[in-house]
Amino acid sequence: MSGFNWEGALAELKRRRELSRELGGKRRIDRQHEQGRLTIRERIEHAATEFYEVGEYTAFEEHSATGEVVGKIPSSYVCGLAQFGGRTVSLGGEDFTVRAGAPQTYLDRMKGGMGGFVEDLAHELRIPLVLFMEGIGGDIAAQADKGHSYLVSSLSWRRSFELLAEVPVMTMVSGTSAGGTAGRTVLSHFSVMTRDSAMFAGGPPLVKRALGKDLSKSELGGSAVHTGISGGIDNLAEDEADAIAQMQKFLSYMPQNVWELPPRGDRSDPVTRRADELLTIIPENRRRPYKAQKMIEAIVDRESFFEVGGGWGKGIVTGYARMDGTPVGIISSNPMHLGGALDAAAAEKQIRFVDICSTFHLPVIYFVDVPGFMVGPDAERGSVVRWGMRAIQSLVEAEVPVVTIQVRKAYGMAVSATAQTDGLCLRLAWPSAEWGDLPVEGGVEAAYSREIAAAENPEEYRRIVEDKMYALSDPWATVEAFGVENMIDPRETREIVCAFVEASRGLLESKRGPQRRQWTIRP
């Protein structure tokens, strides 16, 4: 047995470290760069100010299609402890240059992706998890490594689901996220993909073989599909730098884990600042729409609103902001889409968003301008009632305070999805608000259609009935009956909401820790 010496041992360490930096080899790295994408090591270098790698020297023998050993290459996964956006996180990701980022079934222990060390690190240390997703999710060549095929049900997803109730989980897609990698991508609290990326359960070759349809990656599961139609991904990014910045922005509103409160931010924006611009943002003509984002930005701390999921479920606007430095979740009806009606997609979007706010102790501020659930054959086929009732359930079950601002319309069952009826139920109305079981025009037609039709002058009779109902629906009558908690000048909204958010900090402190119910992913 040869003797040990430091010179030889350190030389071998250096050699193996250099090998790990080669990833899939120069040819594959060059191809990655030609496609405008970074390797996993380059992504980590751009994203993390400090990175302490674990499993740096893992490698495996690469075989030809006939089973011959053709060389040894580094593992397809890189992970470790990192400083990300000024926070300590568990960070990892696949490298597409190494067997297209396939799972590391060739290792004794998975490093990451679907379970593995990177997730155990987040779980045990109670720190956020950041994952860079670019992989095929499955690999038939793994059968050659193992010497036999294996049942995918042998791979455990338990840790991936457990983490959703424990720490913030962020995922970024740059390139292709397929199969199991796609599944892991949506098991997150915030996901973002670059414009030229794609995600799907099975790629174009599988689709062509199974369905006979010849589709490109973009047509099948491109960024336009998942950030604008399916809602499988929260936000779109122009490039990898933008995607990383968005993940860091999201993390700034989150605590390290559910046992802590989110960090308080800058408090230089005066609580007493009056948002005079609200009187021009909200039109006097009730039929005119307005941009909910402008209304929100006028009230929350300056430049603190970060919209999430803006490309889909457009009946509502969701995002994070700060009120006197305290992170909050923002939901608003969106009169620019379907008049603000709540359809199935918007309800699904609300459910997931409220769950995230409840999990990480963020009070919810809800701005209401909703004419009701969306109606019509498309809405019914989309199960608007079932999704709408689940949206109501999301607020019933929320374990954080909800402050509701009645901006304009509030009609029908959809209004129950805007307030925490069984909690404090603090609803602050602006003088522009109107509410009832149904809008007067449609409600009169539904309730009195026979009487109107039988009248000598139906149009005159309808006008008389509508005038009577308008008088009864005067919001001040509801205010006088304490049917709404208060009527306020819109310009006072910031100060009042900040006061209630500040008062809620003690309640939020008492609720630190996992929720009573298990957090459920709804991609």
Where residue 324 falls (left for φ over 0; alpha for ψ -120 to 50; beta otherwise) is left
Q: What is the pLDDT of residue 71?
A: 64
- Segments of the chain assigned to CATH 3.90.226.10: 6-252, 278-433+484-510
- On the question of pLDDT at 70 being above 80, the answer is no
Q: Are 135 and 94 in contact, with CB atoms under 8 Å apart? A: yes
Q: Are 369 and 429 in contact, with CB atoms under 8 Å apart? A: no
**Token digits of residue 375:** 């109606």
Q: What is the pLDDT of residues 189-204, one digit of tens each?
A: 999 999 999 999 888 8
- On the question of pLDDT at 144 being above 50, the answer is yes
- On the question of pLDDT at 437 being above 90, the answer is no
141 vs 203: which has the higher pLDDT? 203
- On the question of pLDDT at 442 being above 80, the answer is no
- On the question of pLDDT at 518 being above 90, the answer is no
448 pLDDT band, cuts 50/70/90, is low
Q: What is the pLDDT of residue 520?
A: 52
Length of the chain: 523
Q: What is the pLDDT of residues 156-180, one digit of tens each?
A: 889 999 999 999 999 999 988 888 8
Q: Are 438 and 449 in contact, with CB atoms under 8 Å apart? A: no
32 pLDDT band, cuts 50/70/90, is confident
106 vs 77: which has the higher pLDDT? 77
Q: Are 215 and 173 in contact, with CB atoms under 8 Å apart? A: no
Q: What is the pLDDT of residues 501-517, one digit of tens each?
A: 999 999 999 888 886 55
Q: What sign does the CA torsion over 46, 308, 181, 175 have? A: negative
Q: What is the pLDDT of residue 487?
A: 97
134 pLDDT band, cuts 50/70/90, is confident
Q: Are 489 and 129 in contact, with CB atoms under 8 Å apart? A: no
**Mean predicted confidence (pLDDT) in 99-109:** 67
Residue 510: enclosing H or E segment and its boundaries? helix 505-510
Highest mean pLDDT among 5-14, 158-167, 316-325: 316-325
3-state SS class at 398: coil
CB 414: neighbour CB atoms within 10 A? Answer: 27
- On the question of pLDDT at 151 being above 70, the answer is no
- On the question of pLDDT at 454 being above 80, the answer is no
Q: What is the pLDDT of residue 523?
A: 40
- On the question of pLDDT at 390 being above 90, the answer is yes
Name the superfamily (CATH) of residues 6-252. 2-enoyl-CoA Hydratase; Chain A, domain 1 (3.90.226.10)
CA 178 – CA 136 distance, rounded (Å) = 5
CA 177 – CA 227 distance, rounded (Å) = 14
Q: Which residues contact 62 (CB under 8 A, 6 or more apart)?
A: 69, 70, 71, 72, 73, 99
Q: Which residues contact 490 (CB under 8 A, 6 or more apart)?
A: 275, 278, 279, 282, 430, 431, 432
Q: What is the pLDDT of residue 360?
A: 96
Of 126, 128, 134, 125, the residue nearest 77 (C-alpha): 134
Q: What is the pLDDT of residue 286?
A: 85
Q: What is the pLDDT of residue 522?
A: 46
Q: What is the pLDDT of residues 33-57, one digit of tens each?
A: 888 888 888 899 999 999 999 988 8
Q: What percent of the chain has pLDDT over 70?
A: 86
Match 């000024």 to its residue by tokens: 86
Which CATH fold topology does 278-433+484-510 show? 2-enoyl-CoA Hydratase; Chain A, domain 1 (3.90.226)
499 pLDDT band, cuts 50/70/90, is very high
Candidate from 306-320, 377-391, 462-476 with smallest mean pLDDT: 462-476
Count helices and strands in the chain by DSSP H and E runs: 21, 18
Q: Which residues contact 326 (CB under 8 A, 6 or more apart)?
A: 262, 264, 265, 363, 501, 502, 505
**Mean pLDDT in the chain?**
88
Q: What is the pLDDT of residues 213-244, one digit of tens each?
A: 999 899 999 999 999 999 999 999 999 999 99
328 vs 64: which has the higher pLDDT? 328
Residues facing 373 on adjacent strands: 342
Candidate from 86-100, 167-181, 337-351 with smallest mean pLDDT: 86-100
**Mean predicted confidence (pLDDT) in 280-293:** 95
374 vs 441: which has the higher pLDDT? 374
Q: What is the pLDDT of residue 105?
A: 64
Of 162, 332, 319, the residue nearest 246 (C-alpha): 319
- On the question of pLDDT at 401 being above 80, the answer is yes
